[in-house]
Amino acid sequence: MSPSLDPGIVIVGASLAGLRGAEALRLHGYAGPLAIVGEEPHPPYDRPPLSKHVLAGELAPGATALPNLVPLRATWHLGVAATGLDRPARTLRLGDGRVLPYGRLLIATGAQARPWPGSEEAALDGVFTLRGRDDAAALRAVLAQGPRHVLIVGGGLIGCEAASCCRDLGIDVTLVDPNPTPLARSLGTFVGGVVSGLLERAGVDFRPGVHVELLEGDTFGRLRRAHLRGGETIEADVAIVALGAVRSTGWLAGAGLMADAGGLTCDGACRVLAADGTPCQDIYAAGDVARWPNPHYGGRLIAVEHWGNAVEQAGHAARNMLAAREDQQPYAHLPAFWSSQFGVNIKAVGLTEGADTVAIVQGSRATRRFLAVYGRAGRSIAAVSFDEGRWLPAYAEQIRAGRPFPPIRDATDQTRIATHVPGFPAPRRGRAAPAETGGIHV
């Protein structure tokens, strides 16, 4: 192929990962053609503010556009989804029928909100999911009109942040979750209990251990009430379905890749694996959609649905895309996330999954200002801070190095370290799926 006909690099997903990947390619000296395909009509935007400042009305949905840090000289295909991948022909099929050739491909299609299981119920007026900018804009418009009662299904990060916003707006909220506390799946019930306290103080009607069976509409197709397992009902004109996310891999059906709703499997260097397990030399993935063997966790396949991973993995994949085959660097990312809700800043590093122990190592649960560390088989694997984020980097360092649990003794503001059972719920199953809280899938 002559250089002028080189179709260059195509990035699927005009997302945070897509944008940062494109920038990294240019920063690393890639000068060839670059195309970016995005299903939404919007240029890349930032998601964390959507469930916070946008819902609160402090930030217009359009003001979440991500700054472009490097001149990209890219061709943008926005408002058109990639619908298929033909690897032998090295082409993408687009939703408008076009076929886009690629030389190398970076897949950053992310994830989408897990929809309410009943599609008719999900289509009722007043039933929302919260994932994209348009979702946030629509929900904000409704919240601004002062709904009578908001039901939030799922006490994960998004559910709790939405509840916090609603209370700030003076709106009555019921939050239901099948687990005994919010954030149980990501933080366990021991730490989740602190969040229960935050909900209660803020006046949220929190219903633990509750399953929603049915969303009922009126004759005009507007949400009227929710029916709970056991027969009870909750009157609500707005429902926010916050059941986590599923990976956007449906468009890859038939492409011969290892892909399912849990992600697109990659090798340690972010190269996508073909169905036979061999890495594709010209297809990489990054961000929420990518599932890769994480060296911090024994090489287990992990997909991380958080902001920091999108940025870092995209940069890493871009670097490897431009490197020689023998110079592919493994991607070792320590997952991290943050949330702000009910006036508290929550930050976490590491994976709590499989933790058998948790201890408050600084501060106290009573003051709602503390740092908790999670242990698994005697090693420190994760830490979470409530309004104590300043110390988290020190603990991240310990977790990265696989230090024994608890990792730091003799810290300031540390009393006797008592260990507790973290209290993680059993794995999900069945229809009324519990909330996706940590965004971590194995």
Partner 1 sequence: MSDTLLAEEPRVAPAGTAPAPDDTLFAQILDPANRANPYPLLARLRERPVARQRDGRYAVSTHAEIRSLLFDPRLSSEDLPPSRRPHTGHVLKDWILNPIKDRVATAHRPLIFRDPPAHDALRHLVMQQFTVRRVRGTHDRVTAVVDALIERCRGRDRVCLVEDLSYPLPVAVICELLGVPEADEPQFQAWATQLSTALEPDARRDEDTRRANVASFDAIADYMKRLIAEKRRRPTDDMLSGLANHADPATPKMGDFDLISTAILLLVAGHETTVNLITNGMLTLLRHPLELERLRRDPERAPRVIEELLRYEPPVHFRTRKALGDIAIAGETIPKGAAVMLVLAAASRDPACFPDPDTFDPDRADNQHFGFGGGLHYCVGAPLARIEVEIALVRLCQRLVRPCLARDPPPYRPGAALRGPASLEITIDGIL
Binding site for partner 1 (CB under 8 A): 362-363, 367, 369, 371, 390-391, 393-394, 397, 408-414
Tell the smallest beta-carbon distance from residue 382 to partner 1 (Å).
Answer: 17
Cis before 48? omega within 30: no
Is the Cα torsion angle 350, 355, 361, 365 positive or negative in sign? positive
CB of 360 to partner 1, least distance (A): 13
User: Residue 350 CB, nearest distance to partner 1 (Å)?
Assistant: 17
Shortest separation between residue 401's beta carbon and partner 1, angstroms: 9
User: Which residues are paired to 338 by β-bridges?
Assistant: 347
Q: Running DSSP on this structure, what letter comes out for residue 93?
A: E
Q: What's the half-sphere exposure (Cβ side, CA atoms, 13 Å) at 207? A: 16
Cα dihedral across residues 283, 285, 291, 293: positive or negative: positive
CB-based contact 245:114 (threshold 8 Å) = yes
In the bound complex, what is the minimum distance in angstroms from residue 83's beta carbon to partner 1? Answer: 43
- Containing H/E element for 135? helix 133-144
Helix (H) or strand (E) segment spanning residue 129: strand 127-129
- Give whichever of 216 and 413 is closer to partner 1, judged by the CB atom: 413
> Regarding beta strands 344-350 and 357-364, do their DSSP bridges make them parallel or antiparallel, or are they unpaired?
unpaired
| Residue 234 vs 411, nearer CB to partner 1 | 411
CB of 407 to partner 1, least distance (A): 11
**Is 73 or 390 the residue whose CB approaches partner 1 more closely?**
390
Cβ nearer to partner 1, comparing 222 with 390: 390
Write down the least CB distance from residue 366 to partner 1, Å.
Answer: 11
| CA 104 – CA 126 distance, rounded (Å) | 42
Rounded to a whole number of angstroms, the minimum distance from the CB of residue 319 to partner 1 is 22
Residues paired with residue 345 on neighbouring β-strands, in sequence order: 340
Q: Output 345 or 414, the one with its CB closest to partner 1.
A: 414
Q: Give the neighbor-by-neighbor strand order of the sheet with 82-86.
A: 82-86, 91-94, 99-101
Q: Tell me the two tokens of residue 402.
A: 């696989």
**Contact residues for 5 (Cβ-Cβ < 8 A; gap 6+):** none
- CA–CA separation, 226 and 8 (whole Å): 51
Distance in Å, CB of 371 to partner 1, minimum: 8
If the CB atoms of residues 273 and 392 are measured against partner 1, the closer one turns out to be 392
Which is nearer to partner 1, 80 or 411 (by Cβ)? 411
CA distances from 376 to 65, 72, 275 (A): 40, 44, 33
Q: Show Cβ contacts of residue 431 under 8 Å, excluding neighbours closer than 6 positions.
A: 117
Q: Rank residues 213 and 397 by Cβ distance to partner 1 and give the closer one.
A: 397
Compare residues 84 and 389 and give the one whose CB is closer to partner 1. Answer: 389
Strand order, beta sheet including 172-177: 127-129, 238-241, 149-153, 172-177, 205-208
Contact 247, 111 (CB under 8 A): yes
Instruction: Count Cβ atoms below 10 Å from residue 280 Cβ, excluding itself.
Output: 19
Q: Which two tokens stand for residue 159?
A: 């559910």
CB of 392 to partner 1, least distance (A): 8
Output 181 or 362, the one with its CB closest to partner 1.
362
Nearest to partner 1 of 26, 403 (CB atom): 403
Q: What is the smallest separation between the CB atom of 397 and partner 1, expressed in angstroms?
A: 7
- Give ∠ CA 393-396-399 in degrees, rounded to 5: 160
CA distance 373 to 365: 13
